[in-house]
Amino acid sequence: MAITLPDGRGLSDAVLEALRLRALHGIEIGFSETEVAELLGVCRETVSRWWSAYVCDGLDALPGDRSGHPIGAGRFLSDEQGAAIQRILDGDARSPKDYGIASALWTRRAVQELVRKEFGIKLAVRTVGEYLRRWGYTAKRPRRHAKKQDPEEVREWLEGTCPEIERRAEEEAAEIHWCDEVGVAADEHPGYGYARSGEAATMEVPPPHIRVNQVSTITNDGIARFTTYTTTMNAVLFIDFLGRLLLSPTKKVFLITDPLPAHTKDEVDEWVKAHADRIEVFYLPRYSPELNPDEYLNNDLKGNVNSAGLPDNKKTLRSRIQAFMRRLLHLPEHVRSYFQHPYVLYAAGP
């Protein structure tokens, strides 16, 4: 089950006061209200209310009351029923079709139908959305699951190969880095826009083909490393990144990455063998990007880098990517949060 932050209404007054002060400090040093809300586990509207009061009248104006209904008020599902629905959503059989529901994804309407089938309770779609938010679920673009993925290869990775890498890393005092590449386009926008009913939400987009790529690694200790580039990843670029990676760590590096052609070239293999005392490379199962924690950094990057507006050129786009990543270098807790996705909890460590 995914790990979620506790409801703020269950926190003590002292903890809530500390959250308010941290929120204000975060905005003062450059974080957006949305970023602060996500980092602290509170609603963006709540952070906005704290900041507005502070700007107008200072610390004394911060609201000390607790917003919202008492925990559990007005709920249609019991705690036991809610837990049962979450077990289904988090279970191995993730497709609604496995429960006789005509939907490709667990949408609000699909969960609405699941509740009706399981408990005979008809909830409004909006109410279902409130339950999902309260349980820690958020709407996401679907991750495509490759039909070519070999379940046996994945099982061997999870039960054999990866535990052995972890055992060796502990024995040899090595540092495990998870590596992945991502391409960010200037015309990608992470959010939604409001418009009058019947009218489309539109935005001006820059010329096509403005794109910048990045290769990065993260560790479950919160360390991140990255390089941006504008060409296509190949063996030469990958070797250059590996060389840069060895400039920082004092420990031996166990690098885990996808078996992309640029990663498995003979030149790469020869370079790694020549530096075997400093680095070893291991490959994830084929067609299994969801097993790579660095994939969730990529999702975070693509979801935030253009949120302030679409850039007009590669230089601006690259600058935004680098600004996001440089800030991430100083946020180890945020880096560690990428390992909390259900698919990669196996890599989170003790």
In this predicted model, what pLDDT tens digit does every residue of 39-82 receive, in sequence order? 887 778 788 888 777 776 677 667 655 554 444 444 588 889 99
130 with 270, same domain: the answer is: no
pLDDT at residue number 33: 83
Q: Over the stretch 128-155, which tens digit does the pLDDT of each residue have?
A: 988 898 898 887 665 555 667 898 999 9
Residue 26 included in any domain = yes
Residue 143 included in any domain = no
Average pLDDT, the chain: 85
pLDDT at residue number 144: 54
109 with 159, same domain: the answer is: no
106 with 36, same domain: the answer is: no
pLDDT at residue number 63: 64
Share above pLDDT 70 across residues of the chain, in percent, rounded to a whole number: 84
Residue 276 included in any domain = yes
15 with 117, same domain: the answer is: no
Residue 199 included in any domain = yes
Reported for 104-112, long-range contacts at CB under 8 A and 24+ positions apart, including other chains, are 104/142, 105/142, 108/132, 111/85
202 with 256, same domain: the answer is: yes
Residue 3 included in any domain = no
What CATH number did the domain enclosing 46 receive?
1.10.10
Q: Could you give the C-alpha distances from 141 to 144, 209, 216, 303, in angstroms and in order?
A: 9, 22, 22, 11
* Cα distance between residue 105 and residue 217, in whole Å: 30
How buried is 114 (Cβ within 10 angstroms: 0-12 exposed, 13-18 middle, 19+ buried)?
Answer: buried
User: What is the reported pTM?
Assistant: 0.61
Rounded to 10°, the helix 44-57/33-40 angle is: 120
Q: Over the stretch 152-198, which tens digit does the pLDDT of each residue have?
A: 999 999 999 999 999 999 999 999 999 999 999 998 776 666 666 67
42 with 165, same domain: the answer is: no
Residue 34 included in any domain = yes
23 with 105, same domain: the answer is: no
What CATH number did the domain enclosing 301 receive?
3.30.420.10
pLDDT band at 1 (very low <50, low <70, confident <90, very high): very low
* Cα distance between residue 113 and residue 128, in whole Å: 10
Residue 295 included in any domain = yes
Q: Which two tokens stand for residue 127?
A: 């109410």
pLDDT at residue number 183: 95
**How many domains would you assign to the chain?**
3
Q: Over the stretch 256-278, which tens digit does the pLDDT of each residue have?
A: 999 999 999 999 999 999 999 99
pLDDT at residue number 57: 66
225 with 258, same domain: the answer is: yes
Looking at per-residue pLDDT, the higher value among 258 and 23 belongs to 258
pLDDT at residue number 6: 46
Residue 296 included in any domain = yes
Residue with tokens 């070239």: 265
- Summarize the confidence of residues 112-126 as an average pLDDT: 91
183 with 302, same domain: the answer is: yes
Please name every residue paired with 314 in a beta bridge, in sequence order, or none if there are none. Answer: none
310 with 186, same domain: the answer is: yes
Using left for φ > 0, alpha for ψ between -120 and 50, and beta otherwise, residue 101 falls in beta
pLDDT band at 25 (very low <50, low <70, confident <90, very high): confident
Give me the domain span that covers residue 130.
79-135
156 with 294, same domain: the answer is: yes
164 with 131, same domain: the answer is: no
